Amino acid sequence: MTVDFSLFGAREIAMFDFWSVAHLLWGIVMYPFLRKVFPNVSIKALLILIVVIAYSWEGTESSMERGLWGDAISVWKHGAEHWSNRFISDPLLALLGGFISTKKQKLWIWVIVPLAGWVLANYMAPNSMFIQELILGLFH
């Protein structure tokens, strides 16, 4: 019997993976950036904009997984995300990050370096799930 769903794990079956943490951190960094670009816009509007950007990214990511950006990117993406990850957890974690940033306005300073390190390390890896699989392999 195969498992069709997992709360955490491989992107094809899980609602959350290590990239989900990156979405949370991205929201923390994005809110102050948007606040700087749009200083007279309400908090609510900026949080809605974060959700719009997050869903736009998910659409872009889906097109990458399907090969619309080329085979090399599709191979690097290493499979398609589970629908619950794409439509629920990642966008809501970006929103949560933005909301946290409204309360802890300097948190982005502490978050930007780990976020950039995670993204850079993963982009240099053989595929987008390589580091997650490596980390999870340490616990098995």
Q: What is the Cβ-side half-sphere exposure of residue 5, based on CA atoms within 13 angstroms?
A: 5
The residue segments making up the domain with residue 53 are 15-138
Tell me the C-alpha distance between 9 and 33, whole Å: 31
In a domain, 1, yes or no: no
6 domain residue, yes or no: no
Annotate 19-50 with b (16+ C-beta within 10 A) or e (fewer). bbebbbbbbbbbbbebbeeeeeeeeeebbebb
Residue 68 lies in a domain: yes
The answer as to whether 69 is a domain residue is yes
Spatial separation of the C-alpha atoms in residues 50 and 9, rounded to whole Å: 25
pTM for the whole structure? 0.93
User: What is the domain count for the chain?
Assistant: 1
List pLDDT tens digits, range 86-133: 999 999 999 999 999 999 999 999 999 999 999 999 999 999 999 999
Question: Of 103, 73, 93, 117, which Cα lies nearest the Cα of 8?
Answer: 93
Determine, yes or no, domain membership for 7. Answer: no
- Render pLDDT for 24-77 as a digit per residue (tens, 0 to 9): 999 999 999 999 999 999 999 999 999 999 999 999 999 999 999 999 999 999
Query: Is 134 part of any domain?
Result: yes
